[in-house]
Amino acid sequence: IKVEWKTHKRGDPGATWNINGNLIEVYSWPGKSKLRSILDLVHELAHHKAWINADRIQDETLNLILNKEGEDPKSLSKEERRTIYLMEKNDTQYRREIIKDLNLTIPEWRIQLDEALDIWIYYVYYLNGKDPTMKEKKTKELELKKLFKGE
């Protein structure tokens, strides 16, 4: 798999995984930490690992939904958004294995926070058809940090 580092443009995600399994793009912007970039890469590698574990066969229905989302995210039905949410939630299980395999040293609370925040963001997207606002994300991140780090 090829990993490309790109400059973030308005509307770009933190990172993407190509459903053909041949490319991960990680986007950077001023102030994005190295840890955030690594966690974004691990997130996308988890999708890649799920694809490998499925014998490199991507679910055709999921492919159609992901392509539709790429063209017009607002056009997805709640059931289609649920499919994306469940994929994201399922693929999260591979993150710790990847972190261990790569011998990365990341505090446990930070991994827990990243996983929980991602799952929450996709859950909100599933329910509402749009991502939470930056203010909502920051509030949830602080709540989760208190829970996992104890601050």
pLDDT tens sequence for the chain (151 residues): 899 999 988 878 889 998 788 899 999 999 999 999 999 999 999 999 999 998 888 788 988 998 898 888 888 999 999 999 999 999 999 999 999 999 999 999 999 999 999 999 999 999 999 999 999 999 999 999 999 998 6
- pLDDT at position 58 is 78
Please list, residue by residue across 5-32, b when 16 or more beta carbons sit within 10 angstroms of its beta carbon and e when fewer do.
eeeeeeeeebbbbebeeeebbbbbeeee
CA–CA separation, 108 vs 83, rounded Å? 28
Residue 18 confidence (pLDDT): 87
* pTM tops 0.95, yes or no: no
Give the CA angle between residues 136, 137, 140 to the nearest 5°: 85
